[in-house]
Amino acid sequence: MNAKFNISYDGSVFQGSQRQPNGLTVENALLKAFKRVNIETNIVLSGRTDRDVHATGQVFNCILPDFWNNFDKLKDVMNKHLPSSIKINHISLVPNDFHSRFHARKRVYRYVITTKHTTPFNDKFVTYVPSINEELMKEAIKEFIGEYDFEYFHKVGSDKENTVREIFDTCFYKHKDIYVFRFTANSYLRSQIRLMVGFLLKINMGKLSIIDLKEQLRMKKRVFKIPAPANGLYLAQITY
């Protein structure tokens, strides 16, 4: 039977989400936990997250033996065998042809920042900036809405031939002591969100302008190519 898993993880202790020979990834840890409960399977992640990028709503699907039809029990057992840096939130039965990656319609990412100095207890999970011009960020982030060729907003050397992506919605808001950049799109290029946030933070600092952003989005000139740190980025939600 085909099952869909919703999981959260602390990306700071992994070399990314996708399986690697070194075994230090989220997928490797999940497969190891499955083997401990005598399940041999392959995982299909909804998308890849890089080293130090976190998730509160990552999704994967895999084939399970029919006798593991008590998903509440399976969730509890798996969570006991997983490291504390990974938590299974929910498991559900899906059609046999369900594919976590190809069937995803929207992917939501959040990038969190704070104007308070970080501590040893939160430094891996939020990015510090000295000050925030909230109204300017609310205005600037809206420029990303629409369909663009993000050739100038993706990691050089990544293997994507088609660099056109559509961003459905963006917003910037404050929640308690943190500020959040929120992006909703069909899919993203590698490091795209970190490059977009990096550009926005340069605008916040007064070193770049919204006009500069418009020109780079329309590929008139490339004025910025430094991604924001990975530790503030979270894969938050996948919609099917």
Question: Which residues, 6 or more positions from 100, have their beta carbon under 8 angstroms from its beta carbon?
Answer: 4, 44, 45, 46, 59, 60, 61, 238
Question: Would you tell me how many other CB atoms lie within 10 Å of the CB of residue 31?
Answer: 19
Instruction: Round the average pLDDT of the chain to a whole number and report it.
Output: 95
pLDDT at 158 over 60: no
Inside any domain, residue 40: yes
Residue where a domain terminates, one of 94, 128, 163: 94
Domain count, the chain: 2
| Rounded average pLDDT over 35-61 | 96
Distance CA 93, CA 2 (A): 6
Give yes or no: residues 87 and 136 share one domain. no
Active-site choice (10, 50, 149, 177): 50
What pLDDT was estimated at residue 160? 63
Inside any domain, residue 37: yes
| Rounded average pLDDT over 106-122 | 97
Distance CA 188, CA 167 (A): 9
Inside any domain, residue 115: yes
Give yes or no: residues 89 and 113 share one domain. no
Residue 141's domain is classified under what CATH number? 3.30.70.660
Distance CA 204, CA 129 (A): 10
Give yes or no: residues 225 and 126 share one domain. yes
Residue 66's domain is classified under what CATH number? 3.30.70.580
Give yes or no: residues 46 and 153 share one domain. no
Which pair of structure tokens corresponds to residue 32? 């190891």
Higher-confidence position of 221 and 157: 221
Strands 164-175 and 178-185: antiparallel
Inside any domain, residue 118: yes
| Rounded average pLDDT over 98-118 | 97
Note down the domain range covering 14: 2-94
Give yes or no: residues 51 and 87 share one domain. yes
Give yes or no: residues 90 and 25 share one domain. yes
Is 50 a residue of the active site? yes
Residue where a domain terminates, one of 70, 94, 118: 94
Distance CA 101, CA 27 (A): 14
